[in-house]
């Protein structure tokens, strides 16, 4: 997990090979990076991206036999939704289970040329909200 800045934009990058699964440690790192971006008064927007060949792959299979551990994904998503700054999800790679879930809290989403259009679909969000409400999705190929 990393938090970097380029001018007024904070870039939160998940780097958890091989598929950027949303493990407990990744969720903790997301919350910490988000809090850092929110606290920085010079940051006006936040981009959520992933290193490697795919965006978030969903739950970490190594945690399937464990009791749910905080922070829960729904809580992390809500923190992004409540950030008070625009959040853009930079999607790329293969369409894996929680890609739409991980972009629910983003107001905007862009996809790379290697990202199938099919991942940008309406899906149920926490508390029954529509994941598409308020979205502005760019389907163009990124340079």
Structural domains in the chain, CATH included, are 2-138 (3.90.226.10)
* pLDDT number for residue 102: 53
Residue range 101-139, pLDDT digits in tens: 555 556 556 666 665 543 433 333 444 333 443 333 333
Listing from the earlier edge strand, what are the strands of the sheet with 108-111?
A: 2-6, 9-14, 45-50, 87-91, 108-111, 136-138
Q: How far apart are CA 137 and CA 56, in angstroms?
A: 18
pLDDT given at position 143: 35
Backbone angles phi, psi at 76, to 5 degrees: -65, -45
Q: What is the mean pLDDT of each run of 10 residues along the chain (143 residues)?
A: 95 92 93 97 92 82 90 87 86 58 57 52 38 39 35
pLDDT (0 to 100) of residue 113: 61
Return the structure tokens found at 45. Answer: 């927007």
- Please state at what angle helix 24-39 crosses helix 73-81, rounded to 10 degrees: 20
Predicted confidence at residue 19, as pLDDT, reads 86
Backbone torsions φ then ψ of 99, nearest 5 degrees: -55, -50
Q: What region does 15 belong to: left with phi over 0, alpha with psi -120 to 50, or beta?
A: beta
């Amino acid at each position: 997990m990393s938090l970097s800045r380029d001018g007024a934009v904070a870039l939160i990058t998940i780097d958890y090979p091989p598929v950027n699964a949303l493990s407990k440690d990744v969720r903790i790192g997301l919350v910490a990076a988000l809090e850092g971006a929110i606290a920085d008064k010079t940051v006006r927007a936040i981009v959520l991206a992933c290193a490697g060949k795919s965006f978030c792959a969903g739950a970490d299979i190594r945690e399937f036999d464990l009791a749910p551990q905080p922070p829960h994904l729904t809580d992390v998503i809500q923190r992004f939704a409540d950030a008070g700054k625009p959040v853009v999800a930079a999607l790329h790679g293969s369409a894996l289970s929680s890609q739409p879930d991980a972009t629910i809290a983003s107001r905007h989403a862009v996809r790379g040329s290697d990202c199938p259009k099919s991942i940008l679909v309406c899906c149920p969000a926490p508390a029954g909200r529509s994941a598409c409400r308020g979205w502005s999705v760019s389907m163009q190929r990124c340079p």
